[in-house]
Amino acid sequence: MLKSYNKLWVFGDSYTTPGVCVEPADSFWGLTATELYIDTIINCSRPVNSFISVQQLLVGISEQINWRDDLVFVGVPPLERITVFDNHCDTEYLGHSINALTWEVDKFDIPEHRGLIALQNYGSDRQLVLHSDRSWLETDVLRQIFLLTQWLDKLNANYLILNLSKDLDKDNIWGPSRFVLPYCKEHKNCVLFKNTYHGINIGINKPADSDTPEGHHGPAGNKYFFEQSLLPKLKECNLC
């Protein structure tokens, strides 16, 4: 018997933003809602979001989530991004409330991210010390994921943490990662090192907007990720 949920919450960046190279009904999160008969999706994604933005949104609106009866997808965007104050521009942040029966979309304001913006490509065309070395950058993110799982597990939350970018290095073993790397590799609610949105599609489905694996997938890539990785993980974690 399928587990019943009231809502599916989605936090991420452009790879999970409604309408970016794939319509909601054909996205991996839309397919999840259809498979599990979830009528309402609250998608809080926006292009260029950093993982700090994802955490700011998740924690900021956590009181709106019914941790017992809702399902939550926490996306990990490309790591070379930062969230900064917008210098009093009062930049709004809009989420998407989606009826998964009709696929009608209504936008709503999320004040918990108002006044913040995310910047990308630090570590390539811009300089940020944290992003200059991928080994430390990944370790830093794994520490954040460790803290998130500690919080979510204490809430008995129904959740998955999904890497939306390149696979993390499972062999990135050094002093600072000695605890968090094996912890995150073994945590059943994390999809970080293999079978990720990008990684599982390499050589199978080409992104809709790029010749590189880091592009945005259309319906085929989203369906393949859902069927080959996400749905089996949901079953493994007794989330469906």
Which residues have CB under 8 Å from 147's CB, separation 6+? none
Nearest residue to 75 via CA among 28, 40, 122: 28
Q: What is the pLDDT of residue 126?
A: 67
Residue by residue, DSSP assigns 27-42 as SHHHHHHHHTT--EEE
Q: Are 179 and 143 in contact (CB under 8 A)?
A: no
Could you read off the pLDDT of 74-125 as tens digits, one per residue?
A: 999 999 999 999 999 999 999 999 999 999 999 999 999 999 999 987 766 6
Residues 22-47: what's their mean pLDDT? 98
Torsion of CA 189, 192, 196, 202, to 10 degrees: -160
β pairing state of 94-99 and 40-43? antiparallel
Model pLDDT, residue 212: 86
Largest CA distance in the chain: 51
Instruction: Give the closest residue to 33 by CA, choosing from 66, 77, 65, 73.
Output: 73
Residue 143, CA distances (Å) to 10, 68, 137 in order:
21, 25, 10
* Mean local confidence (pLDDT), 117-142: 81
Banded model confidence at residue 214, pLDDT cuts 50, 70, 90: confident
Q: Cα–Cα–Cα angle for 126, 132, 137, nearest 5°?
A: 120
Instruction: Name the β-bridge partners of 7.
Output: 40
Residue pLDDT, tens place only, 179-206 = 999 999 999 999 999 999 999 999 999 9
CA dist., res. 28 & res. 196, Å (int): 12
Q: Is the pLDDT of residue 1 over 60?
A: no
Contact (CB, 8 A) for 89 and 141:
no
Residue 20 has pLDDT above 80, yes or no: yes
Predicted local distance difference test score (pLDDT) of residue 120: 86
Show Cβ contacts of residue 27 under 8 Å, excluding neighbours closer than 6 positions. 16, 18, 222
| Amino acid sitting at position 135 | S
The mean of the pLDDT values for the chain is 95
pLDDT exceeds 90 at position 128: no
- Phi first, then psi, for residue 10 (nearest 5°) are -125, 125
List phi, psi (to 5°) of 74. Answer: -105, 110
Distance of CA 136 to the CA centre of its chain: 21
Q: How much is the average pLDDT of 42-65?
A: 98
